[in-house]
Amino acid sequence: MSDSSPLFSDLAVAGVRGLQPYQPGKPESELKREYGLDDIIKLASNENPLGPGARALEAAQQAMTGTHRYPDGNGFDLRQAVAAHHEVDPECVTMGNGSNDVLAMVANAFLGPGREAVFSAHAFAVYPIVTQAAGAASRVVPANRPNHAMPYGHDLAAMSEAVTDAVRVVFVANPNNPTGTWLQANDLRAFLERLPATVIAVIDEAYFEYADDPEYPDTSRWLGAFPNLVVTRTFSKAYGLAGFRVGYGLSHPGIADLLNRVRQPFNVNTMAQAAAIASLADQDYIQQSVNLNLEQRHWLSDELNALGLRVLPTAANFLCFEVGPNAAAIYEGLLRDGVIVRPVANYGLPGFLRVSIGLPAENARFLASLSRQLSGAA
């Protein structure tokens, strides 16, 4: 276009100039538009396939009548409920518009030019984005080897070694997305003990509720031992409230105070706060969601193995499986069948796809379509 507008990218701050936006799972509506399909299943963003819990929905609907008012900007009731759930002081809780928001707050409060963040290869895509947007540099640590017990998972020894004086934040996803791999209590605790007290350790526990290994740690219990710890949790996954956008950080009150200085004033809306509080009180629904996931995860994992596919170990509500060099074509073939999964080439795993565990019928339909793609009969 020959208008007189300046080259806007020259005007942006350095970190933003080189930034690629986060690529979400393909929304159903987009596939409908592009392929003219009606009957679509989305297994691409690790949402709870059961939908929001009835009690959360009812609370949100009731809260809607008050939405001519601003939300409670301090989230008093939500922070009380979260604090009671974790048996911590409400001063330890920072509420976020999803836990992504808390990750961005950590970056804005503790990163900047001349500072660095450490995280693993194949880790959650938001870590490099918030780091770069804050003007800081990323130290991406090579992950475990493919033949490791936790293939492509975090190599904590290597991550410790990557911590230089410039490093102010380390991001650890436990379990990790997109691999599904996880860290056990002993290893993670030893890692935190090695970490200088001046480095903020973010443990991202978005999939906490799904982890079934008895050695998987609840690091919210470690806040007293590690004042530099920030634990993030979300209502987007097992709690079934992804569309509401609500999550939180747990930390020392001194860190929470700093995060709250960069937090947007009304970052969590009225209905989201009400839904989150109600869902915390509805642990039966969480248990039901977790049970369904476990049962279907085992089934689907066995079925993928039976197709001759390698499935990475997972403690979450998704499976990362290897299909080889045709991954992009297989992804497209699944789309034509109305099945949305997640390509993970942008996570450095070009031969893999990630599928969220859905309802039994959805998982069966995904599997049938996948086996058609693999046999070339699609």
Using DSSP's 3-state secondary structure scheme, residue 337 falls into coil
Cα–Cα distance for residue pair 347/176, rounded to 1 Å? 12
Total residues at interface with ligand PLP (CB under 6 A): 14
Output 237 or 365, the one with its CB closest to ligand PLP: 237
Verify binding: residue 234, ligand PLP, rule CB under 6 A.
yes
Among 48, 181, 220, 236, binds ligand PLP (CB under 6 A): 236
Q: What are phi and psi of 275, to 5 degrees?
A: -65, -40
Cα–Cα distance for residue pair 368/364, rounded to 1 Å? 6
Verify binding: residue 153, ligand PLP, rule CB under 6 A.
no
Strands 352-356 and 342-343: antiparallel
Among 56, 156, 159, 173, binds ligand PLP (CB under 6 A): 173
Q: Are 322 and 310 in contact (CB under 8 A)?
A: yes
Among 49, 98, 180, 358, binds ligand PLP (CB under 6 A): 98
Verify binding: residue 99, ligand PLP, rule CB under 6 A.
yes
**In the numeric block, which tokens belong to residue 305?**
């193995």
Verify binding: residue 47, ligand PLP, rule CB under 6 A.
no
Verify binding: residue 268, ligand PLP, rule CB under 6 A.
no
Measured at the CA of 37, the angle between CA 35 and CA 42, to 5 degrees, comes to: 100
| Shortest distance in whole angstroms from residue 130 CB to ligand PLP | 11
- Report the residue closest to ligand PLP, judged by CB: 98
Cα–Cα distance for residue pair 188/202, rounded to 1 Å? 12
Residues linked to residue 202 through DSSP beta bridges, in sequence order = 171, 230
Verify binding: residue 315, ligand PLP, rule CB under 6 A.
no
| Shortest distance in whole angstroms from residue 349 CB to ligand PLP | 15
**Applying CB under 6 A, which part among 32-40, 185-193, 236-244, 265-273 lies near ligand PLP?**
236-244
**In the numeric block, which tokens belong to residue 323?**
């299909």
Output 22 or 76, the one with its CB closest to ligand PLP: 22
Nearest alpha-carbon partner for 73 in 268, 323, 228: 268
Place of tokens 């990630």: 354
Cα–Cα distance for residue pair 361/371, rounded to 1 Å? 15
Q: Are 269 and 187 in contact (CB under 8 A)?
A: no
**In the numeric block, which tokens belong to residue 80?**
């009380």
Nearest alpha-carbon partner for 224 in 86, 121, 119: 86
Output 94 or 177, the one with its CB closest to ligand PLP: 177
Output 231 or 338, the one with its CB closest to ligand PLP: 231
Using DSSP's 3-state secondary structure scheme, residue 18 falls into coil
| Shortest distance in whole angstroms from residue 276 CB to ligand PLP | 11
Output 158 or 242, the one with its CB closest to ligand PLP: 242
| Shortest distance in whole angstroms from residue 68 CB to ligand PLP | 27
**In the numeric block, which tokens belong to residue 352?**
């893999």
| Shortest distance in whole angstroms from residue 163 CB to ligand PLP | 21
Helix axes 283-306, 270-280, angle to 10 degrees: 80
| Shortest distance in whole angstroms from residue 119 CB to ligand PLP | 11
Among 56, 75, 106, 124, binds ligand PLP (CB under 6 A): 124
Among 137, 140, 242, 262, binds ligand PLP (CB under 6 A): 242
Q: Are 102 and 124 in contact (CB under 8 A)?
A: no
Verify binding: residue 174, ligand PLP, rule CB under 6 A.
no
Q: Are 229 and 201 in contact (CB under 8 A)?
A: yes
Verify binding: residue 247, ligand PLP, rule CB under 6 A.
yes
Output 46 or 108, the one with its CB closest to ligand PLP: 46
Verify binding: residue 314, ligand PLP, rule CB under 6 A.
no
Verify binding: residue 251, ligand PLP, rule CB under 6 A.
no
Output 50 or 364, the one with its CB closest to ligand PLP: 50
- Reduced to 3 DSSP states, what percent helix, strand and coil does the chain have, rounded to the nearest 5? 40, 15, 45
Interface contacts to ligand PLP, rule CB under 6 A: 46, 98-100, 124, 173, 177, 204, 206, 234, 236-237, 242, 247
